[in-house]
Amino acid sequence: MEKKWYIITTYSGYEEKVKANLEYRARTNAMTESISQVLIPKENVIEIKGGKKKTVSRKFYPGYILVEMDMNDDTWTIVRNTPKVTGFVRAGIKPLALSEEQFATIKGQVDGNIPRPKHVVEYEKGQLVRVTEGPFTNFSGVVEEVYPERMKVKVMVSVFNRPTLVEVEFRYIEKQ
């Protein structure tokens, strides 16, 4: 059987732990030939905090890791039963393998050979928006801060006639 790359969903923030656990489980179950690589797509970025520059590693896709493996009942069971794994990205009931082109693009972005697409910022400070989903559905407010790298905004809405700042993903708001 030919190995392919699969996307596994994990609890966000536990990607490194899942990777270590999955590699350990593959070794202890003599499955290193079937589960050969685990990759967390990351890039090094420079953050400035308190006036000091610091290089940090940032995940491209928080909550997701890539695994190169032969898909069979044994490998599926090992992956699914690894702590903090929530499942595979799938089409219907079957785990979806990445095409060679898709994996080459991700690998190129990790290696720095292919630029990552930049976020398109649709919102700006002072703009009037309406929340479309979540606990603040149909609330209108003014954008106070925009976080394009996280695809979120902070919106000042009125809750019981009191101004309240809420953080909302771009996909849950619309311009008014």
CATH number of the structural domain spanning residue 43: 3.30.70.940
Residue 27's pLDDT is 93
85-91 mean pLDDT: 89
* 82 and 148 co-located in one domain: no
Going by pLDDT thresholds of 50, 70 and 90, the confidence category of residue 82 is very high
Task: Give 4-60 pLDDT, tens digit per residue.
Answer: 999 999 998 899 999 999 999 999 999 889 999 999 988 877 766 667 777 878 788
What distance in Å separates the CA atoms of residue 139 and residue 143, rounded to the nearest whole number?
Answer: 12
| 95, 4 Cβ separation under 8 angstroms | no
Residue 49 located in a structural domain? yes
* 30 and 92 co-located in one domain: yes
Residue 49's pLDDT is 67
167-174 mean pLDDT: 88
How many CB atoms are located within 10 Å of the residue 71 CB? Answer: 19
* 157 and 81 co-located in one domain: no
95-100 mean pLDDT: 90
| 13, 61 Cβ separation under 8 angstroms | no
* 97 and 141 co-located in one domain: no
State whether residue 107 is helix, strand or coil.
helix
| 19, 38 Cβ separation under 8 angstroms | yes
Q: How many domains does the chain have?
A: 2
Going by pLDDT thresholds of 50, 70 and 90, the confidence category of residue 93 is confident
- Residue 120 pLDDT more than 70? no
How many CB atoms are located within 10 Å of the residue 165 CB? Answer: 11
Residue 119's pLDDT is 55
* 107 and 139 co-located in one domain: no
Percent helix, strand, coil in the chain, to 5, is: 20, 40, 35
* 140 and 58 co-located in one domain: no
Distance of CA 88 to the CA centre of its chain: 13
Nearest Cα neighbor of 175 from 150, 136, 134, 142 is 142
Residue 57's pLDDT is 81
Q: Which residue has the tokens 């308190």?
A: 50
- What's the CATH code of the domain at 145? 2.30.30.30
Residue scoring higher pLDDT (54 or 128)? 128
The mean pLDDT of the chain is 87
Helix, strand counts (H, E) of the chain? 3, 13
* 68 and 138 co-located in one domain: no
Domain extent at residue 158:
128-175
Task: Give 136-152 pLDDT, tens digit per residue.
Answer: 999 999 999 988 777 78
Dump the DSSP string for 40-62. Answer: --EEEEEEEETTEEEEEEEESST
